Amino acid sequence: MNLSLEGRTYVIMGVANKRSIAWGIAQALDKAGARLIFTYARERSGANIKKLAETLENKNSLFYQCDVSSDEDIEKTFSAIKEEAGVIHGLAHCIAFAKTEELGGEFLDTTRDGFLLAHNISSYSLTAVSKAARPLMSEGGSIITLTYLGGERVVRNYNIMGAAKASLEASVRYLANDLGKDGIRVNAISAGPIKTVSAKGISDFNSVIKMIEEKSPLRRSVDQEEVGNTALFLMSDLSKGITGENIHVDSGFHIIS
């Protein structure tokens, strides 16, 4: 029983660049011996990932463009993955989006289409990709997604993304219940604030990092590597008894009122 992922294949969705949390997850799984399959939405991310993948220990990565707002695209992507890789042993869902104008100001000003967009991309997509990946996980597996404290309680400016993350975290529990009988576990990692391209969309993000460094039990912010290591734990056999869980990798900040 160990942390090795030798001989196993994982799909990682949502690497944008080298600062992405998804890239921290990729590096941790690669070091443990995993073969990785990357999916990306935008061409530019694809170009970045192919360059980054050359720095991995395992040089057998695969790459697919996948727009998770399209059921057809998800279907196409996972049947292509089934063709090329056959069995996969897990999936890291690192995808979210909300309109920047709704990531600040009053929650009351959320629009109907802004609400639906945020929930479509940031929450429903986990259910959609889990359904498409299930047939490929014939040897069991581990699905992880990324969430944030703003889904559990009010964090100024997080607004509509908080509602979407609450939906995502509930989805983790219901998916865990459905997939447990197939030997597939479903968990979330609640990461503390990290300076990524996504974080740029949130008003006054820098003041939150400063507050974490002053108030969190560990008196510092976390980084992509620490989240990657917890992802490795959740993908490995060491977490075989854990499903439907939300692990906070946030310097302990969530315990502070």
Ligand X SMILES: CCCCCCc1ccc(Oc2ccc(Oc3cccc(O)n3)cc2)c(O)c1
> Applying CB under 6 A, which residues contact ligand X?
96-100, 103, 148, 150, 155, 157-158, 161, 193, 196, 198-202, 205, 208
Tell me what percent of the chain is helix, strand and coil, each rounded to the nearest 5.
50, 15, 35
The amino acid at residue 56 is L
Closest contact distance (angstroms) between CB of 76 and ligand X is 24
Q: Indicate the residue among 157 and 230 with the shorter CB distance to ligand X.
A: 157
The active-site residue, picked from 10, 64, 148, 174, is 148
Helix (H) or strand (E) holding 2: none
Least distance in angstroms from the C-beta of 177 to ligand X: 24
Which two three-digit tokens encode residue 53? 């993948």
Q: Which of 10, 40, 124, 158 is catalytic?
A: 158
Annotated catalytic, 40?
A: no
- Choose between 26 and 81: whose C-beta lies nearer to ligand X: 26
CB of 203 to ligand X, least distance (A): 7
Residue 53 or 212 with smaller CB distance to ligand X: 212
Structure tokens at 182: 């197939």
25 with 231: CB under 8 angstroms?
Answer: yes
Report, in angstroms and rounded to the nearest whole number, the Rg of the chain calculated over CA atoms. Answer: 17
Which of 44, 43, 46 is closest to 12 using CA atoms? 46
Active-site positions read 148, 158
